[in-house]
Amino acid sequence: MANDVRDPDESDDAKKTRELIAENIRRIEEMLRFLPLSDGAVADLRTKIALLRTILLEQRPPAFALVGRRGAGKSSMVNALFGAKVAEVGHVRSQTGRGRWFDHKSERGAISVLDTRGIQEGSAPAEADGAKDAIASIVVELKRKVPDVILFLVKATEADSAIDADLDALERVYAEIEREHRFRPPLVAIATHCDVLEPKATRLHCADEEPKEEVDEKIARVAEVEHHLETKIKERGKLGPHLVWTRGVSTYLSFKDDAVRADERWRIDELVTTLFKHLPDAGRGTFVRIARVRGLQEELASNLTRATAAICAGVAALPIPVADVIPITTMQVSLIAGIAWLSGRPLDRKAAAEFLGAMGANVGAGFALREGARALIKFVFPGAGSMVSGAVAFAGTLAVGAAARAYFLRGASIEDAKRAFERKKNEEDVASSSPPSDRDRWNIN
């Protein structure tokens, strides 16, 4: 899949930071063979290193194919995922021409979208090139790149009328992908425009403020639509097995001069969570930055933290001279930069410097990763010489990760971040002061 795109607008600092992290990860990998660990433990560390590399260095835009007729809400869906105006909605001819993969961008990243509009319009095509061309171009595009997930969109108000042509189109898309890539992407079926179901005036996006009975009535209608949609899809043997989620949503956002004027989105967080679940790691980092669902940012950040902690503990198991603590704290600085990045900040040293400075480490904004690493030693491992035990490296890394998550993802004050750091560190210290020992914990031979 040729969808690994490096952002051409990436700053020099970001490039440099990437290179440093890449270099550091390479070093750590080289150390692996010196580690006194079992094969199983080494394999486990390799998996964790691969995760770090994928999240920090090998991100690409997630790729979604949107299937649904004109007006189903495909462009609105793209805007709803971003929470901003990135796609033209309504009767505007798309800037992409027909049936092309297109990267919708914001400063937080890009989502690659294949808008298959026109594919089901066997008759009366609105555009001069017609349905045949639409199909031909979509087939070409599906060859070029395989979608991670397919989103099938139907207007809730039209779900029980003629969706057979749409389902034919969807089958067609699956057949092409299957033939070309031997892969069947997960299918997410969405009923859009749920906000306009009866009772029309009842607002689902602020259901707490609405009469309960009316909300219940509206949600019951949504459930009916979902049931119908799901049944229709499951009737098709070629589609049913790939269906992972069916839900009614509202993508409604109104813009004025490109700024959000009204946000009436409903259940988009749930949708984002589902899409996240079905994305490969290479698309997940970008996706959580764009969609900004806190829980998912947290999930990825804690995966990153745990992986880094395990790697640091592994490095700490090395006898000197290789095992001075610099590689460990360098990994921790990378972790801070990574968590800042997941929060939407650029992947550069500025965010890490800000965090380290606020925590009390003395670093300039343009610090070298190693300098940051040295500064970090003082407060992660106070009193330690050049040797730290695996357990202490593990606890220290979890604590750094906890503080960075509090600061960047929850917008905690630096005081709170410090408290999160101390709390985590103490928890882990207590946990590691009694068995299991380093040896048990890391399967050390």
Ligand X SMILES: Nc1nc2c(ncn2[C@@H]2O[C@H](COP(=O)(O)OP(=O)(O)O)[C@@H](O)[C@H]2O)c(=O)[nH]1
Site size for ligand X (CB under 6 A): 18
**Which H/E stretch holds residue 418?**
helix 414-433
CB of 243 to Mg ion, least distance (A): 23
Q: Residue 419 corresponds to which tokens in the numbers above?
A: 């408290």
Nearer to ligand X, 86 or 323 (CB): 86
Is there a contact between 152 and 115 (Cβ–Cβ < 8 Å)? no
CB of 60 to ligand X, least distance (A): 24
With CB under 6 A as the contact rule, the residue among 32, 72, 134, 409 that binds ligand X is 72
Task: Rule CB under 6 A: say whether 205 interacts with ligand X.
Answer: no
CB of 249 to Mg ion, least distance (A): 16
Nearer to Mg ion, 99 or 248 (CB): 99
Strands 149-155 and 187-192: parallel
Nearest to 117 by CA among 95, 140, 100, 142: 100
**Distance (Å, rounded) from C-alpha 330 to C-alpha 209?**
50
With CB under 6 A as the contact rule, the residue among 8, 90, 321, 382 that binds ligand X is 90
Nearer to Mg ion, 74 or 424 (CB): 74
Q: Which of residues 268-327 bind ligand X (CB under 6 A)?
A: none
DSSP code string of 60-105: ---EEEEE--TTSSHHHHHHHHHTS--S--SSSPPTT-SS-EEEEE
Picked from Mg ion, ligand X, none, the partner binding residue 71 (CB below 5 to 8 A depending on kind) is ligand X
With CB under 5 A as the contact rule, the residue among 17, 24, 75, 330 that binds Mg ion is 75
Q: Residue 321 corresponds to which tokens in the numbers above?
A: 């001279």
In degrees and rounded to multiples of 5, residue 120 shows phi and psi of -95, 0
Nearer to ligand X, 215 or 399 (CB): 215
60-68, 70-78, 144-152, 417-425 -> range binding Mg ion (CB under 5 A): 70-78
Q: Residue 247 corresponds to which tokens in the numbers above?
A: 């839900």
54-62, 68-76, 176-184, 234-242 -> range binding ligand X (CB under 6 A): 68-76
Q: Which of residues 248-277 bind ligand X (CB under 6 A)?
A: 250-252
Is there a contact between 120 and 166 (Cβ–Cβ < 8 Å)? yes
Q: Which of residues 98-137 bind ligand X (CB under 6 A)?
A: 117
In degrees and rounded to multiples of 5, residue 401 shows phi and psi of -60, -40
- Listed in order, strand segments (DSSP E) in 270-414 are none
Residue type, 437: S
Is there a contact between 244 and 274 (Cβ–Cβ < 8 Å)? yes
CB of 68 to ligand X, least distance (A): 6
**Distance (Å, rounded) from C-alpha 176 to C-alpha 77?**
24
CB of 254 to ligand X, least distance (A): 8
Nearest to 153 by CA among 171, 135, 140, 170: 170
Picked from Mg ion, ligand X, none, the partner binding residue 323 (CB below 5 to 8 A depending on kind) is none
The label of the residue with tokens 């040896």 reads 439
Picked from Mg ion, ligand X, none, the partner binding residue 116 (CB below 5 to 8 A depending on kind) is none
Picked from Mg ion, ligand X, none, the partner binding residue 195 (CB below 5 to 8 A depending on kind) is ligand X
Residue type, 4: D
Exposure pattern of 23-56 as b/e (b: 16+ CB <10 Å)? Answer: ebbeebeebbeebebeeebeebbeebbebbbbbb
3-11, 70-78, 285-293, 310-318 -> range binding ligand X (CB under 6 A): 70-78
What mask of x and - would describe binding to Mg ion in positions 287 to 316, judged by CB under 5 A? ------------------------------
Nearer to ligand X, 80 or 400 (CB): 80
67-75, 101-109, 148-156, 388-396 -> range binding Mg ion (CB under 5 A): 67-75
Is there a contact between 276 and 287 (Cβ–Cβ < 8 Å)? yes
- Judge residue 203's burial from the number of C-beta atoms within 10 Å of its C-beta, 0-12 exposed, 13-18 middle, 19 or more buried: middle
CB of 146 to ligand X, least distance (A): 22
Nearer to ligand X, 91 or 182 (CB): 91
With CB under 6 A as the contact rule, the residue among 16, 27, 53, 70 that binds ligand X is 70
Task: Rule CB under 5 A: say whether 79 interacts with Mg ion.
Answer: no
69-77, 181-189, 198-206, 346-354 -> range binding ligand X (CB under 6 A): 69-77
Q: Residue 68 corresponds to which tokens in the numbers above?
A: 């649904």
Characterise 257 by phi-psi region: left (phi > 0), alpha (psi -120 to 50), beta (else).
left
Task: Rule CB under 6 A: say whether 75 interacts with ligand X.
Answer: yes
Site size for Mg ion (CB under 5 A): 2
Residues contributing to the site for ligand X (CB under 6 A): 68, 70-76, 89-90, 117, 192-193, 195-196, 250-252
Residues contributing to the site for Mg ion (CB under 5 A): 74-75
